[in-house]
Amino acid sequence: MDIIQAIKERRSINFFETGKSISKEKIRELLELANLSPSSMNLQPWRVVVVMEAERKKILRKCAFDQPKAEEASAVLIMIADPKGVEENLGQVLDSWQALGFIKPEMRDTYTGMVKNLYDTEDSLKRKLFAVKNTALFAMNIMLAAKGLGLETHPMDGFDEDCLKKEFNIPADKTIPMLITVGYLRQGITLLPRAFRRKIEDFVRFE
Ligand SMILES: Cc1cc2nc3c(=O)[nH]c(=O)nc-3n(C[C@H](O)[C@H](O)[C@H](O)COP(=O)(O)O)c2cc1C
């Protein structure tokens, strides 16, 4: 499937084939593809909890205001934005840039200073926005890559974040921008037509 087709055909699916599992290998393939997403300074400040076990999905549904798809989909990805991604990943990013010849060793301090200036301290709003925006880009690529792998998805922010953090052991400093359900369209379901989109003229200004 080409990218244009994937964009056109992706829909938020409410009715998943229940009891149809996805292998861990398939989920891994999906995440490997999405992991090619761009990120600020390549810092990749995201984490994912993949919920596949029936009992765990039941709990997840409870945290997601009882939305059935949270339990009926084959897997649910808890998308986690990690404000500490800067401190945790910067070393690896610089090592790889140095190894690839993108930067010289003496430039490491300059980049470290630049990152601190751009993304502030780990408890700041700026840092939270940094983590959330990059995780949202990663999430979008998960949904498009899923189409390419023959899977359907549904992004969800209808959930109690505290409940998810408690039940799935996610540290308080993280943010959960969304869940993504992943699975297969239930047999016999016909999707309603795609809902309206605003006209380009309503939100774009050319200068
Ligand atoms: C971040 C995000 C959160 C969403 N949360 C929910 C949700 O909790 N429950 C739900 O039924 N739909 C949710 N949606 C789906 C939207 O309603 C859907 O994307 C929109 O109506 C457009 O439909 P389409 O994705 O099929 O084009 C969410 C979408 C996004 C991007």
Domain range annotation of the chain: 3-203
Q: Which of 156, 178, 185 to mutate to test the pocket of ligand 1 (most atoms within 8 A of CB)?
A: 156
The residue whose CA is least distant from atom 29 of ligand 1 is 155
> With contact defined as beta carbons under 8 Å apart, do 78 and 157 qualify?
no
Tokens of 204: 């774009």
Q: How far apart are CA 33 and CA 145, in angstroms?
A: 7
Per-residue pLDDT of the chain (207 residues; tens, 9 = 90+): 899 999 999 999 999 999 899 999 999 999 999 999 999 999 999 999 999 999 999 999 999 999 999 999 999 999 999 999 999 999 999 999 999 999 999 999 999 999 999 999 999 999 999 999 999 999 999 999 999 999 999 999 999 999 999 999 999 999 999 999 999 999 999 999 999 999 999 999 999
The pLDDT score that the predictor gives to residue 148 is: 97
Q: What's the alpha-carbon Rg for the chain, to the nearest Å?
A: 19
Gap between the Cα atoms of 110 and 119, Å rounded:
14
Q: Give the Å distance between the CA of 154 and the centre of ligand 1.
A: 7
Pick from 46, 65, 68, 60: which is nearest to 142 by CA?
Answer: 46
CATH topology of domain 3-203: NADH Oxidase (3.40.109)
Q: State which ligand 1 atom lies nearest to the alpha carbon of 156.
A: 5
DSSP secondary structure code for residue 126 in this structure: H
Alpha helices in 13-172 (DSSP H): 24-34, 54-63, 69-72, 85-99, 108-119, 125-148, 161-167
Structure tokens at 33: 């593809």
Pocket of ligand 1 (CB under 6 A): 11-12, 67, 155-158, 178, 194-195
CA of 69 to the centre of ligand 1 (A): 12
